[in-house]
Amino acid sequence: MRVTAVTATVVVLSAIAHLVGGAPVDASTLVAGSLIVLPSVFVVSRRRLSFRTLSLLLLSGQVVLHHVFTAAGRHHEAEAISLWSPGMAGAHLVATGITAMWLTRGERLLWAVWSWLSRAVAAAIRLPSPAGPASPPRPRGQRRGSRARRGLVSAASRRGPPWIVSFRAAVSG
């Protein structure tokens, strides 16, 4: 999902900047640009992206796609240097910064919602303990008894034939 969102953002941001510059971009060039940007975004986006990494990815993608869109279209000669004018460079930097901030915060928000939902669903489907209800609390002054006595009591309660055999013998006899 991250790869798709970042790739689409790079391509759309580049296409909008190109359109604002006065040069149209056809659909086949957008697809080609997406296929050029996608592998690099895939390699970088395996983990959550920091603001700095995302900004560099968006900016470098815009530069590459500017050259792709310029080469694919029929532009006048001033278009080739318009990326390097101070106004165009400033617009690219501002758009990149705002977009990187939106994507970074949006991903953080999505992870927070996912975490909350997964905890809510886990709590909703949590089954009761198979051990049954807890034993009642002992009064404060009462002690449990020594370890040896508890071991003796538990061993004594397990002596003899299994209860089913005793039950059958009592019923049939």
pLDDT digits (tens), the chain, 173 positions: 788 888 889 899 888 888 887 788 888 889 998 999 999 889 888 888 889 988 999 999 888 888 888 888 765 444 555 556 787 788 888 888 999 999 889 888 988 999 999 888 888 887 665 665 566 666 666 565 555 555 555 555 556 666 666 556 666 65
| Domain ranges for the chain | 2-125
DSSP letters, the chain, are: -HHHHHHHHHHHHHHHHHHHTT----HHHHHHHHHHHHHHHHHHTTSPPPHHHHHHHHHHHHHHHHHHHHHHS---HHHHHHTTSHHHHHHHHHHHHHHHHHHHHHHHHHHHHHHHHHHHHHHHHPPPPTT-SPPPPPPTT-----HHHHHHHHHHHT-SS-HHHHHHHHHH-
The amino acid at 103: L
pTM: 0.59
